[in-house]
Amino acid sequence: MYGRARSASIPPTVPVRATLILAAAAVAAAFVLWPRAPELGASDAAREAARWVGTGFIQAPRGDGDEWEVDVARPDGSLVEVTVGTRGELLGFDEERGPGGGPAPDELRGLARVHAVRAALAATGPGRVLGAERERGGDIEVRLRRADGAYVEVGLDRRLRTREIEAEDPGDE
């Protein structure tokens, strides 16, 4: 009776649970309240594309997942597709048409074009070729309109093997 006083013991799991709950609430509050970079809107994407190209007529930006594609028609008749990321960073700069509206510098010509078109049509069936260009790294992209009216883009590797076939928006040059 005169020995040590016994204190009521608290199970060790109660403080651990309370600590975990408070920590989770603090993380959730920080996530909600943390300032985020604003998403880039269409007008911002157009402004960034104009900055990268210089002079030209800016066409309506197209949202493509987490990036924007903006066509810019230059006064000399050339057309550039600028791809801008959500923070305004340049992701792509693709010459779609050269000066005077002729073929762009990356457009395939001669036998290289013939072989690429043949490989793309073998993968998709008959259609009308809209463009065949060399991409960075040596891959090839062939855009065409199939006989059923669908627009597709065929990705070929350097050896003209089909990598992918994607549905394409006809307004996307």
CATH of the domain at 145: 3.30.505.20
Q: What are phi and psi of 144, to 5 degrees?
A: -150, 165
pLDDT of residue 133: 92
pLDDT of residue 64: 78
Same domain, 117 and 155: yes
Other Cβ atoms less than 10 A from the Cβ of 92: the count is 14
Other Cβ atoms less than 10 A from the Cβ of 32: the count is 7
Q: Which domain holds residue 48?
A: 42-101
**How confident is the prediction for the chain on average, in pLDDT?**
82
pLDDT bin (cut points 50, 70, 90) of residue 160 is very high
Indicate the SS3 state at residue 28.
helix
Any domain includes 19: no
Span 116-136, mean pLDDT? 91
Same domain, 121 and 86: no
How far is residue 43's CA from residue 52's CA, in Å, rounded to a whole number?
14
Any domain includes 24: no
- Alpha-carbon dihedral sign for residues 48, 53, 59, 64: negative
DSSP 80-138: EEEEEETTS-EEEEEEEE-GGG-B-TTB--HHHHHHHHHHHHHHH-SEEEEEEEEPGGG
Tell me the pTM. 0.58
Distance of CA 113 to the CA centre of its chain: 26
- The two tokens of residue 69 are 């594609």
Indicate the SS3 state at residue 68.
strand
Same domain, 119 and 80: no
Any domain includes 4: no
Q: How many domains does the chain have?
A: 2
pLDDT digits (tens, 9 = 90+) for 107-125: 999 999 999 999 999 999 9
Task: Tell me the one-letter amino acid at 126.
Answer: P
What would you measure as the largest C-alpha separation in the chain, in angstroms?
105
H-run or E-run covering 44: helix 42-53
Q: What are phi and psi of 7, to 5 degrees?
A: -100, 155
Any domain includes 119: yes
Span 150-159, mean pLDDT? 93
